[in-house]
Amino acid sequence: MRFPTFPSQLYQFTQGLHITAGIACFPLILGKLYTVYPQLFQTPPIRGFGHMLARASIALFVGSSLVQLAIGLLNTYQWYPFPFNFKQVHYALAFVIIGSLAIHIGVKLPLIQRYWRRNSEATVELLGRDSNDLLDPVPESGSSPAPEVVGGFTGRLFRWIDGTPQAERGVSRRGFFAAIGVSTVAVVTFTAGQSFAVFKPFNLFAPRAKDIGPQGLPINRTAEAAQVTETAVSADWVLSVIAGGATTTFTRAELLRLPQTAVSLPIACVEGWSQLADWKGVRMRDLLAAAGAPSDQRLMVQSLEKEGGYRTTEMGAEYVGDDLTLVALELNGSTLDIQHGYPARIIAPGRPGVLQTKWLSSLEVSA
Ligand SMILES: Nc1nc2c(c(=O)[nH]1)N[C@H]1C(S)=C(S)[C@@H](COP(=O)(O)O)O[C@H]1N2
Ligand SMILES: [Mo]
């Protein structure tokens, strides 16, 4: 995917929204499942081909939604207790969910239409007990019951026993919506502070918190984990700029002597947390010019890191030429901490945190 470089905080916003909406989905989906679960026990389980398709699509929809939310939440804790690749499965399930939701709506469309065209009295008559996730059918005793269990939360849960509806549990519609509403607001309020500054004072549960970490910025991958504690502070460190077979090297002192640019840009992690910070360093364009390299082509960015998925990243030409893209040397007014990528790191506008490579070792212009 290509990310726009402008506005520079767009990715931070959409990513925060993505994670916060995912968290809000937990009470919503549990509430929805609560209202429809009696249908799980329908007898006969299958009433024909159409009914079978409808039920199969719902099974797929519910199953994939639950897996999607669960692995998404685990990912925000960077915990992967499942035997498959998170990213591939999360992307793929998104399509499964969209497709099965479309089928589900398609199957229910006649019912939805009837509901919106209803005229009060007639509705209950018309929809009867087939509509138990739509409204309160006030069941009449003696009317012929749908098989076994009917009724969702809407109004009262009730169960047909010997042709008579028996109230099962006293959950009122209003109480139900209040409980779901309060839980949703609560989970959002107590976690959104990792993504949105206004919620910061209420951040109780989120796996990350703003302003905590070296230089007031959270860290994901430590220098120790990346095994750069020696190479990053070595006197031999240079940044190599490779273009058309020629290599130009820059020591940190040489980088500091090039024109310095200050930018205010967020680190916005794919896991949802983000933080705005002040960075200072050499504009990528200026650095490439100093090395006699073109600034309108892709770059392969290499880290000192020994192994790890983000040792090498690609930077599209749109970032390379952007005024806000820096090889950063300073963070929030002081020398970049080793945990934040000393001696030099990438900071560019509008892209995921994983691509903001720390502990740079080389930049190679790809033809
Ligand atoms: N070399 C290297 N750079 C990296 C990473 C990494 O694992 N290795 N992690 C990235 C991730 S996932 C994020 S969100 C940003 C910010 O993470 P930090 O807080 O660890 O600096 O740095 C990125 N830079
Ligand atoms: Mo990240």
* Domain CATH number, residue 229: 3.90.420.10
What is the distance in A from the centroid of ligand 2 to the CA of 309? 11
**Tokens 């030429």 found at:** 321
For residue 346, CA distances in Å to 247, 275, 292, 309, 349 come to: 19, 15, 20, 16, 10
Terminal-residue alpha carbon distance, the chain: 20
Strand partners of residue 345: 328
- Measured at the CA of 295, the angle between CA 342 and CA 323, to 5 degrees, comes to 65
Pocket flag, ligand 1, residue 305 (CB < 6 Å): yes
Q: Is the preceding peptide bond at 44 cis, omega within 30 degrees of 0? A: yes
Query: Best mutation site among 86, 221, 231, 302 for ligand 1, i.e. most ligand atoms within 8 A of its Cβ?
Result: 221
- Tell me the CA distances in angstroms from 47 to 43, 52, 90, 149, 150, one per residue in order: 9, 7, 33, 15, 16
Q: Tell me what pLDDT residue 165 has.
A: 55
Contact between residue 15 and residue 270 where contact means Cβ atoms under 8 Å apart: yes
What is the residue-level pLDDT of the chain in tens, covering all 367 positions? 788 999 999 999 999 999 999 999 999 999 989 888 888 888 888 889 888 888 888 899 999 999 999 999 999 998 999 999 999 999 999 999 999 999 989 888 988 898 888 765 555 554 554 444 444 444 444 444 443 333 343 444 445 555 555 555 556 788 889 999 999 999 999 999 999 999 999 998 888 888 888 998 989 899 999 999 999 999 999 999 999 989 999 999 999 999 999 999 999 998 889 999 999 999 999 999 999 999 999 999 999 998 888 899 999 999 999 999 999 999 999 999 999 999 999 999 999 999 999 999 999 998 7
Per-residue pLDDT, 161: 55
201, part of any domain = no
Structural domain for 343, as ranges = 215-365
**Which residues on adjacent β-strands are paired with residue 287?**
none
How many domains does the chain divide into?
1
CA of 273 to the centre of ligand 2 (A): 8
Radius of gyration, alpha carbons of the chain: 28
| Dihedral in degrees, nearest 10, Cα atoms 163, 164, 165, 168 | -110
Tell how far the Cα of 358 is from the centroid of ligand 1, in angstroms.
6
pTM flag (> 0.85): no
Provide the β-strand partners of residue 312.
Answer: 302
297 within domain boundaries: yes
Tokens of residue 60, six digits: 């797929």
> What are phi and psi for residue 199, nearest 5 degrees?
-90, 0
pLDDT of residue 119: 65
Residue 309 lies in a domain: yes
251 within some domain: yes
The answer to the question of residue 266 being in a domain is yes
Q: Is residue 282 part of a domain?
A: yes
Whole-angstrom distance, CA of residue 173 vs CA of residue 204: 30
